[in-house]
Amino acid sequence: MGNTHPGATSPLGMVSACAYSGAYPTGYGRYAKNTEGVPEEMFERTEASGFTHFQQSGTGAIRKYYNYVRVTPMVQPLDDLGQSWALHDERAEPGYYAANLDTGVRSEITVGEKVAVHRYTFPDHHSARVVIDLSCGGLAIDLGRTVPLRAQVESMGHGCAQGTVVMEGVPLSVYLEADTPGWRQMLWYDRRLIPGGTRLDFDSIRSTTLRPFGLLFMGSARAGQTIEVRMGFSLRGHEQAKRNLHRECGTDAEPAFERVRAGTRHRWRDHLDRVQVEGGTPARRTVMATALYHSLIKPCFADDESPFWPNSGPYAFDICTMWDIYKTQIPLLQAIAPDRAMDLLESLIRVCEEEGNFPIGYRMARGADRFFRQASALAHTAIADAHALGRGGVDWGWALVHMVDDLRRMYGEDFFEHGLVHPITHTLDLAYAHHCTAKVARALNDRKLADDLERRSHQWVNAFDPSTGLLRDSEFYEGGKWNYSFRLLHDMAARIELSGGDAGFIDKLDRFFGYGAEPVKQPGIGPQPAEMALGYALNRFEGLNNEPDMEAPWAYHYAGRPDRTAEIVHAALTWQFGTGPGGLPGNDDSGGLSAWYVWASLGLFPVAGQNLFLVNTPAFARAALRVGDEEFIIETSGHRETPIGVDGLDRDPPAQYVQSATLNGKPLDQAHLSATDVHRGGRLHLKLGPEPSAWGRGNRPPSHSFTLHQPPAT
């Protein structure tokens, strides 16, 4: 599980590059399309037909699989293009990927923010070549292939070329320079060379008329000879692609591979150093570092590159999807990469201005597919959090206009008229978005608008069946009413009363997580603890395999039982994550699941849209979070190291519980902090012990009960 790839990436950069087999879902690997259970193998070995650019990370069936501009080093005839060769000695590190093909070619790739640099070391061969296929796209699965609509490729003199392919309605341009002394440079079409040709133009391409096309470099290779291919990308034409290439690779003829690799390695080191932990087993530290890395791959930013409007500024083109990232990853970006978090919001506001709504998903594609079935109005939570943190760079009045307009789109019209929407989860989305929008409106002194929005935000109650305390029967996107019934709403006090008070609510949560159920044997890792036993067996808790489950453990906080949260999160961190295959309990979903792991390991959970963090037992003895220019330190006393499942556990190590806490040296008797407290920096000290305590039980996290704010008397 996880659906990640080992290719070269730059933190939140535009370009990635990886070996390409055409397998689901990233283009790397061996498996066919599959959304549940054990996947069917497409290939018996790890293999590649070349190396492509732009890959998804951690997603499932999204129908936009990229993998554009395939580069293939060959010692075979051009007729063999598309054949796959086994990969050996693969190596992956941030910003770098390398592998040996069993043709004897050593392949290395690094990327910058808008460039990719390939370096191939050839065996001794009289006829070697590097082939660039501009027609490639998508995956080798049913309905997975991407066919160019239009294309153009042109030789610009020895070692230089440029091309544009219109994929999914988006023009992707590449400017290419290659160090191939003494080699010939030629265009090709349908695996046939075009002697003397300097330009190919395709005004209209259909799946029935597509033939592969591109250019190649060919010549005699000495043993150990290296060929470097540098590629700059742009969504705004060849000239900008050329500027992007020269900005990162330089304008001289010297090899740029190590220069670009070092720059990307420096960027990764800077980003990864923003979260530091002490203690933990080697496996736990590895999982933590990997989770942080995966949290910083998406969204992809291509500043000044929007193909849909001419203005400069941030442009995030691969948001897949807000449903996956708005609870965990965007709050992580707000903490450790606030500039990029604000760039994301500015980009979303611009998309809303141009297209009429805040997208749930936004990808390098032209069209109306915006994942509206997943959820509604999720950008509002991130905007409300950013405003509460006092972020600048956004015209908040203009943002509020778009937030209000977006509330009326799609399912919002029914919510506005009836206060209830099916699928029922959209009722919760829209009610919460009204609450978040009301907070911004009130802060901007629009009291009348804020009062109306708050009144409508209370209509979340319409989604629940008072006789069960759970959501009403409806259609559910990848889940069921148990999954979605424990979302952290803005009025959890009223939500708990609807379930019969603390006792009734806790009883339902206990049933959801499986307290009292028999342990389940998991192949290879010993028995699961009882509180993780349900999963698919009872069709309730799916073990973090789905977005609605990510916040459910923290619902106990609102009922005065942070000790239960500690047990659930401890069990998840112990049993559901590891360093090997299957080390993620579900799709990583563009870093959403990995960001959950980072927060849970720190002992914090962001309640998106409420400027709030919930506090829990951390997995490390000490951690430091660089928040902008400040540092927030989480330290413990009495911390006990525990292994994780891959360490060969045959029993369930007991959880630890917070006994008392201080914030900046002052007693803290509540299990929550404002996000402002975290972002301004400070020191949280947690005293841990082996038994549940009374800490955090009485002072509950805030609930925003519905009250109409009257204007002051005159």
- pTM (2 d.p.): 0.95
Do residues 205 and 352 both lie within one domain? no
Which residue, among 624, 662, 21, 548, has the nearest Cα to 273 in the 3D structure? 624
The 3-state secondary structure of 557-568 reads: HHCCCHHHHHHH
Nearest to 85 by CA among 40, 129, 46, 32: 46
pLDDT, one tens digit per residue, over 151-170 is 999 999 999 999 999 999 99
Cα–Cα distance measured from residue 107 to residue 96, given in angstroms and rounded to the nearest whole number = 11
Where a domain ends, among 249, 270, 291?
A: 270
What percent of the chain has a predicted confidence (pLDDT) above 70?
94
Residue 142 maps to a domain: yes
* Residues 330 and 212 grouped into a single domain: no
Q: CATH no. for residue 306?
A: 3.30.2080.10
Query: Given pLDDT bands bounded at 50, 70 and 90, which one contains residue 37?
Result: confident
The model's pLDDT over 611-640, given as tens digits with 9 standing for 90+, comes to 999 999 999 999 999 998 899 999 999 999
Q: What is the pLDDT of residue 537?
A: 63
Looking at residue 710, its pLDDT comes to 43
Judge if 214 and 152 occupy the same domain.
yes
Count of C-beta atoms within a 10 Å radius of residue 378: 27
What local confidence, expressed as pLDDT, does residue 647 receive?
55
- Tell me what the mean pLDDT of segment 658-668 comes to: 98
Q: Which of 270, 291, 324 is the last residue of a domain?
A: 270
Whole-number Å distance between alpha carbons of 421 and 423: 6
pLDDT on residue 524: 43
Do the domain assignments include residue 714?
no
pLDDT tens digit sequence for 107-157 = 999 999 999 999 999 999 999 999 999 999 999 999 899 999 999 999 999
Q: Over the chain, what is the mean pLDDT? A: 92
For residues 145 and 168, membership in a common domain is answered with yes
**Secondary structure class of 138 (helix, strand, coil):** strand
Q: Looking at residue 366, what is its pLDDT?
A: 86
Domain assignment of residue 711, yes or no: no
Per-residue pLDDT of 365-420, as tens digits, reads 987 556 788 999 999 999 999 999 999 989 999 999 999 999 999 899 999 999 99
Cα separations in angstroms, 484 against 318, 479, 555, 600, 705: 26, 7, 12, 20, 21
b/e per residue, 68-90, with b = 16+ CB within 10 A?
bbbbbbbbeebeebeebbebeee
Q: Which helix (H) or strand (E) holds 267?
A: helix 257-272
Distance CA 95, CA 108 (A): 11
| C-alpha of 684 from chain center | 28
Give the containing element (helix H, strand E) for 602: helix 592-602
572 and 515 in a single domain? The answer is yes
Cα gap 581→5, rounded to integer Å: 12
CB 152 within 8 A of CB 202: yes
Strands 630-637 vs 682-689: parallel, antiparallel or unpaired: parallel
Q: Which among 258, 237, 306 has a CA at the least distance from the CA of 14?
A: 306
Q: Is 395 exposed, middle or buried (0-12, 13-18, 19+ CB in 10 A)?
A: exposed
Give the span between the Cα atoms of 145 and 362, in whole angstroms.
19
Do 461 and 595 have their domain in common?
A: yes
What's the CA gap between 411 and 424, in Å, rounded?
10
**Residue 230 near residue 110, CB atoms below 8 Å:** no
Residue type, 325: I
- Read off the pLDDT band of 60 (50, 70, 90): confident
125-133/150-155 β-pairing: unpaired
Indicate the residue among 270, 305, 320 that finishes a domain: 270
Q: pLDDT of 189-198, one tens digit each?
A: 999 999 999 9
pLDDT attached to residue 540 = 77
* 208-252 pLDDT tens trace: 999 999 999 999 999 999 999 999 999 999 999 999 999 999 998
461 in a domain, yes or no?
A: yes
d(CA 304, CA 477): 35
Residue 279's alpha-carbon distances to 485, 546, 594, in angstroms, are 36, 29, 20
CA torsion through residues 5, 327, 431, 556, sign: positive
pLDDT value of position 646: 54
Q: Token digits for 432?
A: 């919460």
Q: Which residue has the tokens 């500039």?
A: 339
Are 281 and 156 in a shared domain? no
What distance in Å separates the CA atoms of residue 672 and residue 492, rounded to the nearest whole number?
14
> 154: closest CA among 129, 185, 126?
185
CA dist list (Å): 231 to 247, 600, 642 = 12, 39, 46
Give the type of residue at 496: I
Q: Say yes or no to pLDDT of 79 above 80.
A: yes
* Domain total in the chain: 2
**Ordered strands of the 657-663 beta sheet:** 275-278, 622-627, 630-637, 682-689, 657-663, 666-667
Asked if residue 184 and residue 58 are part of one domain, the reply reads yes
First-to-final CA distance of the chain: 62
* Shared-domain flag, residues 203 and 345: no
Please state the length of the chain.
Answer: 714
Percent pLDDT > 90 in the chain is: 84
Q: Report the pLDDT value the prediction gives residue 507, as an integer from 0 to 100.
A: 95
For residue 194, which amino acid is it? I
Asked whether residue 192 falls in the same domain as residue 287, the answer is no
- 526 and 620 together in one domain: yes
Distance of CA 579 to CAs 245, 436, 572, Å? Answer: 36, 38, 14
User: In this structure, what CATH number is given to the domain that contains residue 245?
Assistant: 2.70.98.10
User: What was the pLDDT predicted at 648?
Assistant: 56
266 and 280 part of one domain: no
Domain membership of residue 48 as a residue range:
8-270
Identify whether the C-beta of residue 117 lies closer than 8 Å to the C-beta of residue 286. no
- Give the tens place of pLDDT for each residue, 559-593: 999 999 999 999 899 988 999 888 898 899 999 99
Instruction: Pick the more confident residue, 469 or 515.
Output: 469
Q: Measured in whole angstroms, how far is the alpha carbon of residue 664 from the centre of its chain?
A: 33
With respect to residue 701, please indicate whether it lies within any of the assigned structural domains: no
> CA 326, CA 324: separation in Å to the nearest integer?
6
Other C-beta atoms closer than 10 Å to the C-beta of 204 total 8
In a domain? residue 695: no
314 in a structural domain? yes
Residue 546 has pLDDT above 90, yes or no: no
Domain assignment of residue 712, yes or no: no
